[in-house]
């Protein structure tokens, strides 16, 4: 949620129009995160920063900016050899979507200090009361507005005390001392022209650096000090809450750590470490620290739709390739004393500790939680260790017991999910071994856990997770194989699963051929108000995740139900009008699901049954239900196959109902606030 983007050109001439378009395009790359308003700030000729804010989408902002510019004498063709601009997409937390609540938020009518913010300031009410007592007036309903006003207060006080040499970074460091909560911030000020200061605590933020005279063959070999120094070389510097807005400009990035302050000035970046323990009457002047740059592994093609109409559609159809990438180099079949095994490099030094655990606790939210639920049976079977699941927010609300003897596994596509991160901090405080399963290298969860596995599903832009879900299940199946690797009695079972993993991409290609069939089914369901999905065993997770996909993108009420609970309430809903999906593929629960189908049919249920190829006659009572046939794989991998038709159904339902499939109403891709 919320997108931050900033652009600074140094010793290279850029027209104001070019700078505007650079900021707009940066925001467009962040649209998928979810937002309801947007804004930018650039410099005028002599009156300091200009601020443009607009409710609605980015194109509404673009239109309003050019309309406003047309009524002024602002010259869009004017060139700047150095200029700093900031931009933001907002997802409302405090205050309704409106221009006054959009970012950048300002300190005063003269825009002395401007801030774009991702996150929530939890103590803003106390700060606001204090600032009001000091004569400040507030125009917005946001928590963010206290930040630029606090910066002005700090700056004014320093100047009153005669400290004319106070730097921009010193002001920001002092502001940070007063802020509580999670945030990523970029500051711009008329007192410090052509400078930006960024800082973060709990929300993602990256700095990208592009030297315009660098040789194209530099590749991954570059000197950190050279790229971050003020060396006079023509440069473009970028700040963003997401790598997807940087990759088309540069692959050389600095992943800003929690508590770091990055001061961008004169084409260079100086990094300071915030120390909350240092307090005093004067502003501190901390020493700078050195940090290493990283190389983005993302490609520009990953953030384009290619031949597809929508990102969700593209990512559903990418799953054979994304699963191949997830498993690459991790499955070993033949050529050694262990004919079939799994190698998870990020876990190999901790496997003995995991095997000695009293229990394994999986912690996640939404789709990530469902993926863990799908993998739980095989983890219990192969490890012999009790496996429990926790929704991150619920664990925190209860302050549920976590012990030193536990292994806690944190599952998050983005690696930045706020509730999951807080649960991680809680588990660390309680001494548990913490394992991360994420899709984002360098994310907060990847950096903070003791060890982990990257799912390597590739960039996922659609808000409704698809390929990350299937890759998460596969990674957790491989985790089960790795933990149980020392158990002789389960060797045959493990080898069958490894064979199944090798065959999984080809089976996914097969199930994707159901695309048109699911589109036809979507046409039949387009006017329905509700959908039930029944599953059990490995496919209880399929029922929950399939219902979640329909719910979040098609905006249709849908509910995933454990089939064993059918007679404990849900059966009352069944009549001839309510569509019901029953997942009844071949596994240990197949005969029980057959019984469920008979009971639903007896009550004239409108059935859609997902079954294994060749089983239509076994599940379709009297030929009265619609059947979706899918290829059979090893039972613990079947949820990877079974979710795909439901993903396709959700996609087609959404498109046919006229909704935005990549940006569902009220939702955001990376939930970085609570």
Q: Which residues are catalytic?
A: 2
Helix (H) or strand (E) holding 472: helix 467-483
Q: How far is CA 458 from CA 206, 413, 414, 467, 639, in A?
A: 18, 10, 11, 9, 20
Report the C-alpha gap between 323 and 494 in whole angstroms: 19
Report the C-alpha gap between 21 and 87 in whole angstroms: 11
Rg (CA), the chain: 27
Beta bridge partners of 40: 52, 87
Residue 444 near residue 468, CB atoms below 8 Å: no
Residue 239 near residue 204, CB atoms below 8 Å: no
Backbone φ, ψ for residue 128 (5° rounding) = -65, -45
Q: Which two tokens stand for residue 627?
A: 């059947």
Report the C-alpha gap between 425 and 596 in whole angstroms: 43
* Cβ-based neighbours of 257, under 8 Å, separated by 6 or more: 200, 291, 447
Backbone φ, ψ for residue 451 (5° rounding) = -160, 175
| Ramachandran category for residue 476: left, alpha or beta (phi over 0 → left; psi -120 to 50 → alpha) | alpha
Report the C-alpha gap between 182 and 672 in whole angstroms: 8
Residue 23 near residue 258, CB atoms below 8 Å: no
Residue 25 exposed, middle or buried by CB count within 10 Å (0-12, 13-18, 19+): middle
Residue located via tokens 């003269």: 110
Alpha helices by DSSP H, listed for 512-657, are 515-525, 540-554, 590-602, 616-619, 638-656
């Amino acid at each position: 949620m919320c997108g931050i983007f900033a652009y600074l050109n140094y010793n290279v001439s850029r027209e104001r129009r070019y700078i505007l378009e650079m900021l707009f395009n940066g925001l467009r790359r962040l649209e998928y995160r979810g937002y309801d308003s947007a804004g930018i700030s650039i410099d005028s000729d002599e009156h300091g920063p200009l601020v443009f804010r607009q409710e609605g989408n980015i194109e509404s902002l673009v239109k309003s900016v050019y309309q406003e510019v047309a009524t002024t004498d602002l010259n869009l063709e004017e060139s700047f050899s150095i200029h700093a601009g900031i931009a933001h997409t907002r997802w409302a937390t405090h205050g309704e979507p409106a221009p006054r609540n959009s970012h950048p938020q300002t300190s005063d009518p003269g825009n002395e200090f401007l801030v774009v913010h991702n996150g929530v300031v939890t103590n803003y009410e106390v700060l606001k009361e204090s600032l009001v007592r000091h004569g400040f007036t507030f125009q917005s309903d946001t928590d963010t507005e206290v930040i630029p006003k606090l910066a002005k207060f700090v700056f004014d006080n320093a100047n009153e005390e005669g400290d004319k040499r106070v730097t921009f970074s010193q002001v920001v460091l002092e502001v940070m001392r007063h802020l509580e909560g999670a945030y990523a911030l970029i500051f711009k000020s008329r007192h410090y022209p052509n400078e930006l200061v960024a800082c973060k605590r709990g929300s993602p933020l990256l700095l990208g650096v592009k030297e315009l005279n660098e040789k194209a063959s530099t590749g991954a070999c570059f000197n950190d000090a050279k790229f971050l120094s003020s060396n006079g070389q023509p440069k473009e510097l970028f700040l963003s809450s997401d790598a997807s807005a940087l990759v088309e400009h540069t692959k050389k990035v600095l992943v800003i750590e929690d508590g770091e302050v990055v001061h961008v000035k004169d084409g260079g970046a100086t990094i300071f470490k915030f120390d909350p323990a240092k307090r005093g009457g004067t502003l501190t002047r901390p020493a700078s620290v050195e940090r290493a740059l990283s190389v983005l592994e993302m490609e520009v093609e990953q953030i384009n739709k290619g031949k597809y109409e929508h990102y969700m559609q593209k990512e559903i159809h990418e799953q054979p390739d994304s699963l191949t990438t997830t498993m690459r180099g991790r499955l070993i079949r033949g050529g050694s004393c262990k004919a079939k095994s799994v190698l998870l490099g990020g876990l190999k030094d901790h496997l003995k500790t995991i095997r000695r655990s009293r229990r394994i606790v999986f912690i996640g939210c939404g789709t990530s939680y469902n993926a863990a639920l799908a993998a739980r049976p095989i983890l219990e079977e192969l490890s012999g260790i009790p496996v429990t699941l926790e929704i991150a927010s619920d664990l925190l609300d209860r302050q549920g017991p976590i012990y030193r003897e536990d292994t806690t596994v944190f599952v998050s596509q983005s690696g930045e999910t706020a509730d999951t991160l807080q649960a991680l901090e809680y588990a660390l405080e309680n001494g548990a071994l913490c394992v991360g399963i994420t899709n984002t290298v360098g994310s907060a969860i990847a950096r903070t856990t003791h060890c982990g596995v990257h799912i390597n599903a590739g960039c996922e832009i659609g808000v409704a997770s698809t390929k990350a879900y299937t890759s998460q299940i596969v990674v957790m199946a491989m985790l089960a194989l790795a933990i149980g690797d020392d158990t002789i009695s389960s060797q045959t079972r493990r080898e069958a699963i490894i064979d199944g993993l090798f065959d999984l991409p080809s089976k996914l290609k097969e199930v994707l051929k159901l695309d048109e069939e699911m589109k036809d089914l979507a046409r039949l369901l387009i006017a329905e108000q509700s959908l039930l999905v029944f599953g059990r065993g490995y496919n209880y997770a399929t029922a929950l995740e399939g219902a979640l996909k329909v719910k979040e993108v098609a905006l249709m009420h849908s509910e995933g139900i454990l089939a064993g609970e059918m007679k404990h309430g849900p059966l009352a809903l069944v009549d001839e009008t309510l569509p019901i999906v029953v997942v009844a593929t071949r596994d240990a629960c197949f005969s029980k699901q057959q019984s469920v189908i008979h009971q639903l049919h007896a009550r004239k249920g409108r059935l859609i049954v997902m079954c294994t190829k060749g089983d239509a006659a076994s599940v379709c009572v009297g030929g009265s239900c619609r059947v979706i046939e899918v290829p059979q794989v090893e039972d613990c991998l079947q949820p990877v196959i079974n979710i795909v038709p439901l993903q396709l159904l959700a996609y087609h339902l959404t498109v046919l109902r006229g909704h935005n499939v990549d940006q569902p109403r009220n939702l955001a891709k990376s939930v970085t606030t609570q």
